[in-house]
Amino acid sequence: MFCYQCQETTKNSGCVIRGICGKDERLAALQDYLLYALKGLAAVGMRAPAGVEDQATDLFVAQALFATLTNVNFDPERIYALTREAFARRDALRARVHAARHAAGLSCPSPLPEAGHCPADGDIEAYATLGAARAPNATTHPDADVQSLRELLVYGIKGLAAYCDHAYVLDHSSPDLLAFLKEGLAATLDDSLGVSDLVALAMRCGAHGVSAMALLDAANTGRFGHPEPTQVSLGVRPGAPGILVSGHDLLDLYELLAQTAGKGILVYTHGEMLPAHAYPALKAFPHLAGNYGGAWWEQQRDFAAFNGPILMTTNCIQTPRESYRDRIFTTGMVGYEGVGHIGDRAPGGQKDFSPLIELAIACQPPLELETGSVLVGFARKAVLDNAEAVLAAVQSGAIKRFVVMAGCDGRQKERAYFTEVAQALPQDTIILTAGCAKYRYNKLDLGTLGGLPRVLDAGQCNDSYSLVAVAQALADAVGAEHINDLPISYDIAWYEQKAVLVLLSLLHLGVKGIRLGPTLPAFLSPNVAAFLVQNFDLKGIGSAEEDVAAMLVGA
């Protein structure tokens, strides 16, 4: 196997024996073959004349891509089924495209790449063998920079696919976004595209990332209201069993809350579900009891102690320990071999969470891990409602600098850097955060500034959009030409492919001088990394002390 799509890749080079995430060789090969099939399907889709496009297939591509993100789907049979479906859709679409082009008197532009017509037959082991031959290091392009940019594009597209799926779950659609997934995937099979074409595609991927995050923001706020500043309890309410919900899918949480109402069961959030407490339609449920535990990588400790059922709505799932294996459930695109799965909702219906509810009633209450609370809910509306005060504080010099510390958390001890930066930033700075990166400092008492907490938590990683909206509003208010002219520094933590998309989105917006850590992506070739340094002043992280000193003078 060879996989280097996430920040925790072995030796910051590539996982070759088994993924640090737990992905084994067979699953890696099956995922590689699924990606290959999706690229073939996309290549066929790109030839469809107007009127032959197939929105259901385009959405399928997004969902199947989502299954290949880090820590989403560890179920080989599910990946195999998705690959079979990809090939079946490819072959059906190819027949329709062929007939439509023939009827319109159109000739074939060029031969389809192999992925567009290879045989679809094979059992799961045959697919694994074929997939092993399509690992990123098995299909390298002779030009290392083209290879690197293809991977950058694929990982950005995976992040885009995940956010598209989240928005579509809430009935917010965008054919443009799905069309770009197709275009970008097909481009990675096109040998006529060189470095400058692929750089342009990566930037367009970033532009679509901004649109996807805006779409998801509209979907979440349209359905659940605008986040409001909210104190979230970190302890447990005594005496009642609980269900723990993790991941990013707010609709799953909503339906679970509705189905558990009045049943004597408390619902707690974990990891990236923490921001749910700020949404009016979710916080209205009195049995939404608090947030339990830390970031995704602490789940094995947290889930063992929780005692009740756990629902994984999206990434990041880790190998379940025996102590809670029969209490953890997946749903949506998440999967884990041997773990209970809650099926999709029928059109207009709800998911059926009764297996978790029945189990919860028979479980002990959670063990308390900590006490206290954290403050969430500083998404764009909550911050902009305070715009005058924020602006006055900036103009008077009371707020000297904002530091965007969005992104992901992870296991590596080097991530202590982000805690150290948060602690070392002076009292006249504000930290803007989104994503699970916040767990490195959101429980510290960093005080307030001008009536605002010094850590403004906009929400999940997709709510990085809120941070951009705040920066843009601030730039407009002070008459700055570009958000780069504001006193804002970026110190971003990344882990998986949604974060790659967030990075491309920031680059598309022209943000310069981003620090990215704990390491730069292994899939950046030396020349591609140098290009990002030269054109965007992208930097790796240094020591907390040096970086804080540099950020305070705008470097």
The least CB distance from residue 326 to ligand SF4, in Å, is: 25
Least Å from the CB of residue 517 to ligand SF4 = 16
Q: How far apart are CA 46 and CA 36, in angstroms?
A: 15
Three-state secondary structure call for residue 464:
helix
Q: How far apart are CA 125 and CA 235, in angstroms?
A: 47
Q: Of 6 and 59, which has the nearer Cβ to ligand FSO?
A: 6
Closer residue to ligand SF4 in complex, CB, 6/436 = 6
Three-state DSSP class for residue 175? helix
Question: Per rule CB under 6 A, is residue 498 in the interface with ligand FSO?
Answer: yes
Q: Among residues 282, 264, 270, which one has the least CA distance to residue 360?
A: 264
Which of 402/495 has CB closer to ligand FSO?
495
Whether the CB-CB separation of 209 and 160 falls below 8 Å is answered with yes
Please provide residue 287's backbone torsions phi and psi, each rounded to the nearest 5 degrees. -95, 10
Distance CA 156, CA 490 (A): 19
Under the rule (CB under 6 A), what is the footprint of ligand SF4?
3-6, 8-9, 15, 19-21, 23, 70
By the rule CB under 6 A, 86 interacts with ligand FSO:
no
Stretch that binds ligand FSO, among 40-48, 115-123, 491-499, 516-524 (CB under 6 A): 491-499
Q: Beta strands of 127-250 (E only): which ranges? A: 230-233, 242-246
Most distant CA atoms of the chain, gap in Å: 72
Residue 9 binding partner per list ligand SF4, ligand FSO, none, with a CB distance cut-off of 5 to 8 Å that depends on partner kind: ligand SF4
Decide whether 158 or 401 has the Cβ nearer to ligand SF4: 158
Give the residues across from 370 on adjacent strands.
none
CB neighbourhood size of 191 (10 A): 9
| Partner from ligand SF4, ligand FSO, none binding residue 272, C-beta < 5-8 Å depending on class | ligand FSO
How many alpha carbons fall within 13 Å on the CB side of residue 106? 13
- Residue 376 partner contact from ligand SF4, ligand FSO, none using kind-dependent CB cut-offs of 5 to 8 Å: none
At its nearest, how many Å lie between ligand SF4 and the CB of residue 2? 9
Binding characters for ligand FSO, 422-451, by CB under 6 A (x = yes): -------------xx---------------
Output 3 or 507, the one with its CB closest to ligand SF4: 3
If binding is defined by CB under 6 A, does position 495 make contact with ligand FSO?
Answer: yes
Nearer to ligand SF4, 5 or 188 (CB): 5
List the one residue out of 53, 94, 92 whose CA is nearest residue 178. Answer: 53
CB-wise, 97 or 251, nearer to ligand FSO?
A: 251
Q: How far is the CB of 4 from ligand SF4 (least distance, A)?
A: 5
Shorter beta-carbon distance to ligand FSO: residue 319 or 427: 319
Q: Which residues contact residue 214 at a Cβ distance below 8 angstroms, ignoring those fewer than 6 apart?
A: 465
Q: Give CA–CA dist 10/4, Å, rounded.
A: 8
Smallest distance from the beta carbon of 460 to ligand FSO, in angstroms?
5
Give min distance, CB of 381 to ligand FSO, in A. 21
Question: For ligand FSO, which residue of 315, 318, 331, 505 counts as binding (CB under 6 A)?
Answer: 315
Q: Tell whether omega for the bond before 175 is within 30 degrees of 0, i.e. cis.
A: no
Q: Do the beta carbons of residue 405 and residue 379 sit within 8 Å?
A: no
- Residue 496 is a binding residue for ligand FSO (CB under 6 A): yes
Q: Which stretch binds ligand FSO (CB under 6 A): 136-144, 191-199, 386-394, 494-502?
A: 494-502
Q: Which is nearer to ligand SF4, 21 or 59 (CB)?
A: 21
Which residue lies nearer to ligand SF4 by CB, 5 or 429?
5
Contact status, residue 403 vs residue 430, Cβ threshold 8 Å:
yes
Three-state secondary structure of 340-403: EEECCCCCCCCCCCHHHHHHHHCCCCCCCCCCCEEEECCCHHHHHCCHHHHHHHHHHCCCCEEE
- Min dist. Cβ of residue 149 to ligand FSO (A): 21
Size of the site for ligand FSO (CB under 6 A): 14
CB–CB of 490/511 below 8 Å? yes
DSSP state of 53: -
Single out the residue of 39, 193, 33 nearest to residue 116, CA to CA. 39
- Which residues make up the interface to ligand FSO (CB under 6 A)? 271-272, 296, 315-316, 408, 435-436, 460-461, 495-496, 498-499
